[in-house]
Amino acid sequence: MDQILSSLSEYPVARPQSVRRTRRLARPLRTFAAVAAASGALALLVASEPHGGAVRGDLKAAAARLRDMPPNAAGANVASALAREFPDQSATIDPTGFPASVSVTLHALDRASCAAALRTARRIEGRVVVQLETYRSSADCTDRNEMTWRLMP
């Protein structure tokens, strides 16, 4: 038996074509798996971020909608139009000062979201100015925050 095995080792064995094909496919599959893992990790990172940036985006969208409102719009219409800009937030819209200003209060923001909103949305300049009230620093943030911004056309 040993003689047979030793005689076989003298002859090179040709690899079947399927093995070569598998090797050619292995590299792109590994690359695809790495890209998929990186994309998943990035999505998880974005999902776990505090939504202070989203607050800024929502406030900018509300400011743009307020800019387009006619000055004689009814308060209920102003409130319902602006409320649509905060789909993922618990928000209260107070249009009593319209057309000079409208207050938007976001409820139950966690500490990280409060601090992120302070960094990104304390004041937004434009045709409608958005100004945060009462919160001066991240030390003012607690576990549950009620943050109010004044939108001034």
Give the span between the Cα atoms of 121 and 134, in whole angstroms: 13
Q: What is the pLDDT of residues 30-69, one digit of tens each?
A: 666 666 666 655 555 444 444 667 899 999 999 999 999 9
Domain map of the chain by residue range?
Answer: 12-48, 52-152
Is the pTM higher than 0.85? Answer: no
Give the span between the Cα atoms of 55 and 88, in whole angstroms: 9
CA distances from 67 to 19, 25, 82, 108 (A): 66, 56, 11, 27
Q: What is the pLDDT of residues 104-143, one digit of tens each?
A: 999 999 999 999 999 999 999 999 999 999 898 989 999 9
- Listed in sequence order, the residues at least 6 apart from 118 whose beta carbon sits closer than 8 Å to its beta carbon are 52, 132, 135, 137, 138, 141
pLDDT at 17: 61
